[in-house]
Structure formats: structure tokens, C-alpha cells
Amino acid sequence: MQIEVTKKPKSTVTIKGSLSADEFNVHIQHVTRRFVESAELPGFRKGKAPERMVLEKIGEGTLLEEAAEEALRTAYPVILKEHSIDAIGRPQVRITKLARQNPLEFEADIAVLPEVSLPDYKNIAKTLNAKPKEEIVVSEEELEKSLDWLRKSRAKKTAPPNDEKNAEEASLPELTDEFAQSLGAYKTVEELKNVLRENIKLEKEQKAHDKRRMELLEAVSEASTMEISDMLVESEKDKMYSELKAQIEQIGMQWDMYLTHIKKKEEELRNEWQSDAEKRVRSAMVLREIAKNESIEPTEDELNAWAYQYLAQTEESEKKNLDLERVKDYAYGVIRNKKVLEFLENQ
């Protein structure tokens, strides 16, 4: 296999490669066997149809494309290892020559880990951590909103008379000790209010904590220097697209209806996400680099605990499609990033 590697701006490399005709033919034969073994043609049992008839059905172009995909899937990790390429995400591959009895020629653009120059992140974190924390207060208005929500959730369904507003108020249960007792282990309204206050406070504290973490990370990220691949930013936009689409479908709205509602096209959304996608990529690179500098990584026990908890929360029908090692790979990043943020918080 002949490979030529060219470094490009913005943390990208381009490789030009050629797989010999003999090597490519091995993959052609392998894919051919796979097609024949799975073929179901009239008059023949599965896998027993003549090779010639199977190839006529699938077409030469489809066969060669499948063989090229298999060949490159096999060769890609070898290329990365032999040429010490720290690739991120999927490569953008172009087949430049595809024919039997010929070398398979291709080009690929690959996003690589950018060189990250970190600032004095310990000092930045220490300075931000020294600032007084926001005092968490639960207002009476917030408490009343929670109480109203509880009352509405227990409202009796009644046919509305002419005055609909009064009907709604009349259907709400009164805020009494009996009402508090109907919700659980509360003896009085005051006990219920105290629990609600504490829950609201905990929620606000968690949001404040997450906000401070993001401020720490953004401060370090903004003071860092790196060149980010456009491919990496586009890949991050793909993630943002998948996340938003899943959220929209989870609430029961179709994606097309959502786009119609906000009066935007997908491309407009992706353009709007440019800045956020760049920030997310920069933050990810900073977390990775700090973890490397400080030798921060999850333990095997932490990875196993996270993965098995994730599996325990997964529907049985979906578990069969999950690869435990891939789940643990994902867990590695989640746990490592959490540890880095805790490290910054403790400066």
C-alpha cells in the first residue's frame, strides 16, 4: 500500500493512497462470496445461486463500491498507526480509481488533534474560584408557582360553566393540611412548603454549580490557542442536529413541523450553530489537554460502574444493539471531563 501524507492548515491532513490490484482483488473476492452466500434468487436455495447470476443482479458498480469500502475500512487504522496520525471523527474519502485488475486509488481528508497551547489554567481557575458565590434564595413567588402546579395537577375535572376562569379556580383543591397529606409523607402545609423550598433551592444550586463550571471552562478555553479543523466543527454540528431532533421528537413533534414552526431550514440552523459548535470543540480539546497534562483518567471500576448503570436504564429491546466497549469508550470521555472540571474547581 502506497501512502502520501500532506499536512494542511487548520489541523487537517490529506492522504493519497493506492492499494495494489492483488490486494484489492482479495476484497473483491471476499465481497463476492458474501453476496453469493446471502443471495436469494428464484429457483435457487439461499446461497446456492450461480455467482454469475448474482453479480448480474447486484451490478458491477455496487460490487466494486462494497469492495472498496471494505478495503478502506481495513486499511484505515493501519494507515493511522503507521503514519502516527491522531485522527478525530470520520475521514472524508474520495475514490479516484475503481476498476478490476487495477490498483484502488483514493484520497482522504482527515481532521487531526490540534496542537493546543494552554494558558496558566490553574491560576485562571484559582482567580475565578476566589470570587464570592451567588447566594441562593427561594422567593415566595417561586414557592407559590410550585404550589399552584401541585394544585393544578390534582384539580378535579368539571364541566366549565359560562365563566371559565372562575370554574378553573373552583376546581383547584384548597391548600390545606389534608391536601398536603394526600401528596405523601407530609402532615401539614408548612411541611410541604419546607420540602418544596429545599427542592427548589437544590435545583437552583445545581444550576449555579453548572454555570460556574462552564465559566471556568470558557475562561480557560478563550485563553487557549489552537487551530480547529472545519471538519471537526461540522461534525459537532451533526451532533447538535441529532440532539435537537431527538428532543423535538421526544415531545411528540415531527421534525418537519418544528422547522415549519420556527420558519427555518436545516442549513439556516447549522449556520446559526457555527459559534456554539466552535466553542464546544475548543472546550473538548481543552478538557482533553488538561487531562493529559495532569494525568487525569477514569479507573476501570469507574468505567464499569458507569457502563452498567447506563445499561440498567436502557430498554431491553435496545440492549442487543449496544456494544459494551463502545459504551465504555463514551463513559471514558464523560468521566474524564467531569474529573477535569472538579480539578479546576479545587484550585
Counted domains in the chain: 2
Are 24 and 68 within one domain?
yes
pLDDT tens digits for range 119-164: 999 999 999 999 998 899 999 999 999 999 999 888 875 555 555 5
Amino acid symbol at 112: V
Copy the grid coordinates of residue 98. Answer: 475503481
Asked if residue 223 and residue 119 are part of one domain, the reply reads yes
In a domain, 45, yes or no: yes
CA 246 vs CA 68, 88, 252, 267: distances in Å: 33, 24, 10, 18
Among 111, 129, 149, residue at a domain's last position: 111
Calculate the alpha carbon distances from 182 to 127, 196, 341, 345 in Å. Answer: 49, 15, 42, 42
Instruction: Decide: 62 and 28 in contact? Cβ < 8 Å.
Output: no
Residues 134 and 85 in one domain: no
Is 267 inside any structural domain?
no
Q: Return the pLDDT at 82.
A: 94
Same domain, yes or no, for 193 and 91? Answer: no
Q: Are residue 121 and residue 215 in the same domain, yes or no?
A: yes
Residue 125 and residue 101 share a domain = no
Asked if the structure places residue 148 within a domain, the reply is yes
b/e string for 126-162 if b means 16 or more Cβ within 10 A? eebeeeeeeeeebeeebeeebbeebeeeeeeeeeeee
pLDDT at 308: 87
| Residue 317 is assigned to a structural domain of this protein | no
Q: Say if residue 14 is in the same domain as residue 64.
A: yes
Is residue 324 in a domain? no
Q: Residue 20 maps to which CATH number?
A: 3.30.70.1050
Instruction: Check residue 339 and give its pLDDT.
Output: 96
The confidence score (pLDDT) of residue 69 equals 95
* pLDDT for the residue numbered 288: 94
* Backbone φ, ψ for residue 225 (5° rounding): -120, 135
Instruction: Establish if 288 belongs to a structural domain.
Output: no
> By residue range, what is the domain housing residue 23?
2-111
Of 95, 111, 127, the position where a domain reaches its end is 111
Residue 99 lies in a domain: yes
Dist. CA 71–CA 135, nearest whole Å? 60
Which residue ranges in the chain fall short of pLDDT 70? 157-170
Q: Phi first, then psi: what are they for 2, rounded to 5°?
A: -100, 125
209 shares its domain with 125:
yes
Record the cell numbers describing residue 57, joined without a space: 443482479
Domain boundary among 194, 227, 260: 227
56 and 155 in a single domain? The answer is: no
Residues 9 and 88 in one domain: yes
**101 and 129 assigned to the same domain:** no
pLDDT at 314 (0 to 100): 82
Let me know whether 105 and 146 are in one domain: no
Q: What digits encode the pLDDT tens for the residues 2-30?
A: 999 999 998 999 999 999 999 999 999 99
